[in-house]
């Protein structure tokens, strides 16, 4: 392990003081280009210094392209911009091939004349270099819009930095994309495809993230009439900075703490199917470069434990979004444990002149329980007896994992779509399809020289969307802790739907259904507004299964595809309406909609819930109080 992470010898004698001007220039450039977005700024700086690729995801207008362009100019690298669209070809990236005329002298044994007395002409193939062959800094706009015939070779080139049998000068590629929650005519990229990008950052707008000081600064900056330009680096200065970062040593203690953190992270994501991306060859090779780059930006002579904080900028697409907060907590916990151990070690070696210079009695290293108490001491004090104790969060991991697995089955299906990826050819059916077909065959067909109709692309799109309607019982029996727990469950389902680009609907019910429409629609992708709506419920009345199920199924009736789900969260028997919901069960079976049920309570689960799920091939869960007082959701 120590040999793998041994630093490369530095090709320059640049020290921490020597790299300070270069680091300051890069920081000033990104700060002048964009207000806020500290994670995106740090992530791109790490990418440039570590010679790694970065992926920025965020809504339109949050500054993805602006910050990438500013850093490209400040780095002093040769840069190219590629804007993806569905008609982009591989030749647009690598370069076109053209015929070139070449004159040469004839050979005497062939022409029977003296050398040089005859001139001949021949044709040679010549490649016009494209962006990938010349760029040191590559800016890839709207990467998910890249067609399959260009995306595959591009990702392979980014991973190996080789093309056409030669090594490329490419150092850093920054790709941008809009979040999956927006309605876009493109397929979202998979985590395995995004693994080529070591740095992965999700950006949000200043207003969306409630960064009001930053929003005010943006308004003030927009009103200013002049902007002071920032001076960029030279090529030599940039390479010296990169070489210095690659030469920083990594102590064994940092490697041990990283191994401990990696094991904890894999424990958190165990069962989600994405934990392997944390230990694959690509990630394991990039980690040490990013840690060295972070230490270089801090102007530290060696990598330290605190540089593990840079790992949070490498997990946006490698781990589920709902676990990102927990990832940051584990990183901080690992750093805090090391600092605590260092303090204990320093205290245990102190000596005292008492007793003829004998060493003071060593302080014993704290146990795991004591260490946990010390970590908890940094949390806020508990509430006073007069204040209500907040409910502990619901443990909904099993529910979300099983639900994600059910959704993934539908994602494998493909539907014909004019804006999808080209996945084959088929005969021409309509004359207007010739624009999306083989141009050479179309030309021959127009001349009457093709015995059959020209071919056109078969464009399909994976069923990456789908729809889910969440039915939440808000009857009187759901008041108190159960109501707060139900909010946790619904919010978790909404996050899963957002990551899978599903339309989501939300219906509260007691003795009647209460559809919660946003923008006049029950099914939508306004996930943030829905999460806020989930927190404002007022339990009252009795329970009715019939009406909310009918509302959900009638809403899904007009939706195409097989990835349609209804999740019903309740704690009791139906009192009003058809308690057997016969008509709704038959309609769900007819439409192919899966009905999943979550029973909240300590008693026996109503048999009708099991019947609903079994008949529609849905999931069945039970939520009850765990030994620690938290809500545990397990599959029945």
Range of the domain at 455: 422-462
Q: What is the pLDDT of residue 25?
A: 86
For residues 169 and 383, the model is more confident at: 169
- Residue 384: pLDDT band (50, 70, 90) is very low
Q: Final residue of a domain: which of 303, 325, 347?
A: 325
Same domain, 457 and 548: no
- Residue 357: pLDDT band (50, 70, 90) is very low
Any domain includes 300: yes
Mean pLDDT of 3-31: 66
Instruction: Report the share of the chain in percent with pLDDT over 70.
Output: 71
Q: What is the pLDDT of residue 78?
A: 86
Q: What is the pLDDT of residue 467?
A: 87
Mean pLDDT of 236-245: 88
Any domain includes 606: yes
Q: What is the pLDDT of residue 230?
A: 58
Calpha distance 434→455 (Å, rounded): 8
Residue 572, Cβ neighbours under 10 Å: how many? 17
For residues 115 and 283, the model is more confident at: 283
Q: Given a cut of 80, is residue 58 above it in pLDDT?
A: yes
- Residue 1: pLDDT band (50, 70, 90) is very low
Q: Given a cut of 50, is residue 167 above it in pLDDT?
A: yes
- Vertex 492 angle, CA 486 and 498, to 5°: 135
Any domain includes 369: no
Q: Final residue of a domain: which of 304, 325, 346?
A: 325
Q: Given a cut of 90, is residue 548 above it in pLDDT?
A: yes
Q: What is the CATH number of the domain that holds 192?
A: 3.40.50.300
Q: What is the CATH number of the domain that holds 476?
A: 3.40.50.410
Any domain includes 354: no
Any domain includes 478: yes
Which residues partner with 123 through β-bridges? 101
Supply the DSSP symbol for 524.
B
In this structure, what token pair is assigned to residue 434?
A: 């010739």
Same domain, 528 and 433: no
Same domain, 482 and 564: yes
Calpha distance 256→34 (Å, rounded): 37
Same domain, 443 and 514: no
Mean pLDDT of 413-419: 56
Calpha distance 174→137 (Å, rounded): 8
Same domain, 610 and 496: yes
Q: Are strands 119-127 and 97-105 parallel, antiparallel or unpaired?
A: antiparallel
Calpha distance 83→62 (Å, rounded): 18
Half-sphere exposure of 27 toward its Cβ, with a 13 Å CA cutoff? 11
Any domain includes 30: yes
Any domain includes 444: yes
For residues 567 and 162, the model is more confident at: 567
Same domain, 31 and 180: yes
pLDDT digits (tens, 9 = 90+) for 471-524: 999 988 888 878 888 888 888 888 888 777 788 999 999 888 999 988 778 888
Same domain, 429 and 529: no
Instruction: Report the share of the chain in percent with pLDDT over 90.
Output: 8
Q: What is the pLDDT of residue 367?
A: 42
Same domain, 402 and 443: no
DSSP 144-180: GGS-HHHHHHHHHHHHH-EETTEE----EEEEEE--T
Calpha distance 17→167 (Å, rounded): 32
Same domain, 317 and 437: no
Are 288 and 5 within 8 A, CB to CB? Answer: yes
Same domain, 452 and 505: no
Please provide the average confidence, as pLDDT, over all residues in the chain: 75
pLDDT digits (tens, 9 = 90+) for 297-354: 988 899 998 898 888 888 887 777 767 767 777 888 788 777 656 655 554 444 433 3
- Residue 208: pLDDT band (50, 70, 90) is low
DSSP 200-246: EEE---TTTTT-HHHHHHHHHHHH-S--PPPP---HHHHHHHHHHHH
Same domain, 236 and 183: yes
pTM (predicted TM-score): 0.54
Pick from 200-209, 230-239, 484-493, 558-567 the range whose average pLDDT is largest: 484-493
- Residue 418: pLDDT band (50, 70, 90) is low
Give the contacts of 394 (CB within 8 A, at least 6 positions apart): 485, 488, 489, 492, 623, 630, 631, 632, 633
Q: Given a cut of 60, is residue 4 above it in pLDDT?
A: no
Q: What is the pLDDT of residue 460?
A: 66
Same domain, 494 and 601: yes
Any domain includes 362: no
> How many domains does one find in the chain?
3
Mean pLDDT of 446-451: 79
Are 206 and 214 within 8 A, CB to CB? Answer: yes
């Amino acid at each position: 392990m120590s040999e793998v992470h041994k630093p490369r010898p530095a090709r320059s004698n640049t020290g921490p003081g020597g790299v300070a001007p270069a680091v300051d220039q890069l920081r000033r450039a990104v700060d002048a280009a964009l207000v806020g977005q500290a994670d995106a700024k740090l992530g791109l700086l790490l990418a440039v210094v570590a010679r790694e690729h970065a992926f920025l995801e965020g809504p339109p207008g949050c500054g993805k392209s602006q910050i990438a362009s500013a850093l490209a100019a400040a780095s002093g690298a040769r840069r190219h911009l590629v804007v993806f669209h569905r008609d982009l070809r591989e030749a647009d990236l690598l370069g076109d091939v053209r015929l070139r005329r070449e004159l040469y002298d004839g050979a005497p044994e062939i022409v029977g004349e003296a050398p040089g007395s005859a001139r001949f002409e021949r044709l040679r193939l010549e490649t016009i270099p494209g962006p990938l062959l010349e760029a040191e800094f590559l800016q890839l706009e709207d990467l998910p819009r890249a067609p399959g015939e260009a995306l595959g070779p591009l990702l392979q080139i980014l991973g190996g930095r080789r093309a056409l049998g030669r090594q490329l000068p490419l150092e850093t590629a920054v790709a941008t994309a809009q979040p999956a929650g927006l309605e876009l005519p493109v397929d979202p990229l998979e985590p395995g495809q995004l693994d080529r990008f070591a740095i992965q950052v999700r950006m949000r707008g200043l207003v969306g993230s409630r960064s009001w000081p930053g929003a005010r600064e943006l308004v003030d900056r927009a009103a200013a009439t002049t902007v002071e330009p920032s001076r960029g680096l030279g090529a030599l200065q940039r390479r010296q900075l990169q070489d210095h970062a690659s030469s920083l040593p990594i102590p064994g203690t940092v490697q041990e703490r990283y191994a401990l953190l990696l094991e904890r992270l894999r424990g958190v994501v165990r069962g989600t199917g994405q934990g392997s991306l944390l230990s694959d060859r690509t990630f394991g090779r990039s980690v040490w470069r990013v840690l060295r780059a972070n230490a270089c930006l801090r102007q530290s002579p060696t990598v330290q434990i605190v540089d593990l904080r840079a790992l949070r900028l490498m997990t946006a697409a490698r781990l589920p979004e709902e676990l990102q907060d927990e990832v940051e907590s584990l990183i901080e916990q690992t750093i805090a444990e090391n600092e605590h151990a260092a303090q204990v070690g320093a205290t245990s070696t102190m000596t005292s002149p008492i007793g003829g210079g004998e060493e003071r009695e060593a302080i014993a290293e704290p146990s795991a329980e004591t260490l946990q108490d010390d970590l908890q001491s940094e949390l806020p004090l508990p509430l006073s007896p007069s204040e209500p104790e907040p409910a502990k969060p619901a443990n909904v991991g099993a529910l979300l994992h099983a639900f994600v697995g059910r959704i993934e089955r539908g994602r494998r299906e493909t539907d014909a779509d004019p804006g999808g990826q080209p996945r084959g050819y088929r005969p021409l059916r309509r004359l207007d399809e010739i624009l999306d077909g083989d141009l050479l065959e179309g030309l021959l067909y127009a001349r009457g020289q093709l015995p059959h109709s020209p071919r056109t692309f078969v464009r399909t799109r994976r069923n990456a969307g789908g729809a889910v309607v969440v039915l939440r019982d808000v009857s009187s029996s759901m008041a108190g802790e159960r109501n707060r727990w139900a909010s946790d469950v619904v919010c978790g389902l909404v996050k899963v739907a957002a990551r899978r680009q599903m339309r989501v609907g939300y219906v509260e019910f007691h003795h009647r259904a209460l559809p919660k429409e946003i923008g006049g629609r029950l099914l939508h992708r306004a996930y943030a507004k829905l999460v806020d709506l989930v927190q404002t419920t007022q339990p009252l009345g009795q329970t009715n299964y019939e009406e909310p199920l009918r509302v959900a199924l009638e809403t899904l009736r007009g939706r195409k595809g097989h990835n349609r789900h209804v999740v019903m969260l309740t704690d009791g028997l139906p009192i009003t309406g058809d308690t057997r919901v016969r008509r709704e069960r038959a309609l769900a079976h007819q439409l192919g909609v899966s009905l999943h049920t979550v029973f909240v309570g300590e008693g026996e689960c109503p048999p009708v819930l099991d019947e609903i799920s079994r008949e529609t091939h849905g999931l069945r869960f039970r939520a009850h109080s765990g030994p620690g007082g938290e809500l545990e959701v397990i599959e029945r």
